[in-house]
């Protein structure tokens, strides 16, 4: 049985250089492959398409957010207008109620006065 021989420094350098040379040749062979060029071109086209789709989605999202913000602003404006109108109507109803209550109070006062006048006017006893 033969013993294992340790490679010396020069053998290791030669083996590393040979491995680098094989890797370089393999790389050059792949780079010269027309199918690789087609795949890279297709990959670049897909990336450009994804980028354009992403941009379109971002634009659409921005437009949707702008429409939503406009709708919210319009709703707030409508709510403020409705609140002002309701406040004005409430004020008018309050004034009308006060006028009605005053008229009822005045009527009660007048009725009390007329009852008091009728009681105060008594016929003379001796005549």
Phi and psi at residue 6, to the nearest 5°: -75, 130
pTM over 0.85: no
Provide the pLDDT for residue 122. Answer: 63
Mean pLDDT of 48-66: 98
Q: Where are the domains of the chain?
A: 25-92
C-alpha closest to that of 23 among 13, 31, 34: 31
Q: Is the pLDDT of residue 118 over 90?
A: no
Provide the pLDDT for residue 121. Answer: 62
């Amino acid at each position: 049985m033969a013993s294992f021989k340790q490679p010396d420094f020069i053998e290791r350098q030669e083996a590393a250089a040979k491995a680098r040379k094989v890797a370089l040749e393999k790389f050059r062979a792949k780079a010269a492959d027309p199918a690789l060029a087609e795949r890279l071109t297709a990959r670049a086209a897909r990336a450009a398409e994804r980028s354009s789709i992403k941009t379109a989605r971002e634009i659409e999202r921005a437009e949707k957010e702008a429409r939503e913000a406009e709708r919210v602003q319009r709703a707030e404006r409508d709510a403020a207008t409705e609140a002002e109108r309701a406040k004005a109507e409430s004020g008018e109803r309050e004034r009308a109620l006060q006028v009605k209550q005053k008229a009822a109070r005045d009527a009660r006062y007048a009725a009390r006065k007329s009852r008091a006048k009728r009681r105060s006017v008594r016929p003379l006893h001796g005549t």
